[in-house]
A = this chain, B = another copy of it.
Amino acid sequence: MADPAAERAEDAVAGLDSVTVHTEAAAALDAPGVAAVLIASPGPAHEEALLAAFDRGLPVLCEKPMVPDSTGALRVVEAEARLGRRLAQIGFMRRYDTEYRRLKALLDGGSLGRPLMLHCTHRNVSSPAGFTSAMLINSSVSHEIDAARWLLGQELTAVTVLRPASSAGAPEGLIDPQFVLFETERGALVDVEVFVNCGFGYQVRCEAVCEAGSARIGDEHTMVVTSRGSAAEEVAQDYLVRFADAYDREVQAWVDATRRGQVTGPGAWDGYAASVVAEAGVRALETGGRVAVEPAPRPDLYAEVSR
């Protein structure tokens, strides 16, 4: 691991075996056993780290922005192109969001026809200190830039930025909100409301308006697809879909607790209680009447119902 602040790095890897700590990225890349690189440093440090990884043939996951200025970004592109094979994945994480992936799959499937417009909303509760008017574009809207390119499979060809009256909730001098319009190579229009001091919540929404319907994500529920007279949300067909994350969290919670030498979550008493209630339920089904549940006394080891 490399971090210019060695102490911070030591803290981060405490308890992990076989990790060495470095203050120079290059030294870390040369450490034995390094098979891949994750770059999460500030943007201006990315170019050097990326080129160093390319030199060593190491695969890289690099946080966005890949490189803050396009000239430096182009140098990275050219270096990788010279290698002739891809090594870098860039951290545009919306491509991995469930709702965005559904929208992408729907658009690619073609059932709604050609996309004509994307209406996007990008709201933050408040902007961090030092956030500039330009950063609404190159830090916030950069997510929509990538998402629009990816969803539409088209490059963006022109941009216009409108300035509604700024909110009283924005810091003095910050142009916030802004309304950004992108044109694409095949004539689609992308509009983005970016409002980084909206005060009320973090909201990322996207509506794709197509020739035969519209689909919207981000409204505190699953994707809503409007077509032929109905506005519909998908209903899961399977518990593995509905509870996928719960299964992951359950096992992770168990692993974490076990590592700490603890046992948490539902326990044997809960398992027993479920059995004894279910048995009463089956008798109630068979008899048609009301059946009392009569468990054995609860050992002191167990709370009434475990948390």
Contact = CB atoms under 8 A, between A and B. Distances in A.
Interface stretch (A3-11, A13-21, A23-31, A86-94): A86-94
Nearest to A134: B282
Nearest to A118: B164
B162 A181 contact: yes
Contact of A268 (B86, B189, B272, B291): B86
Interface in A161-175: 161-165, 167-169, 175
Number of identical monomers bound together in the oligomeric complex: 4
A268 B165 contact: no
A136 B98 CA distance: 31
Contacts of A275: 65-70, 72-73, 138
A246 B76 contact: no
A129 interface: no
Contacts of A228: 199-201
A159 B293 contact: yes
Interface string A266-307: 111111111111111110111011111101100111101111
Which of the listed residues A251, A258, A275 has the most CB atoms from chain B within 10 Å of its own CB? A275
B157 A289 contact: no
Contacts of A246: 93-94, 96-98, 100
A138 B156 CA distance: 31
A158 B162 CA distance: 13
Interface residues of A, number: 170
A21 to B, nearest CB: 21
Contacts of A87: 263
B92 A266 contact: yes
Interface in A153-200: 153-165, 167-169, 175, 177-182, 186-189, 191, 193, 195, 198-200
A136 B50 CA distance: 51
B274 A142 contact: yes
A55 interface: no
A36 B253 CA distance: 13
A22 interface: no
Contacts of A52: none
Contact of A164 (B116, B160, B251, B271): B116
A116 B198 CA distance: 11
Contacts of A188: 164-165
A258 B164 contact: no
Interface in A210-236: 211-214, 219-222, 226-236
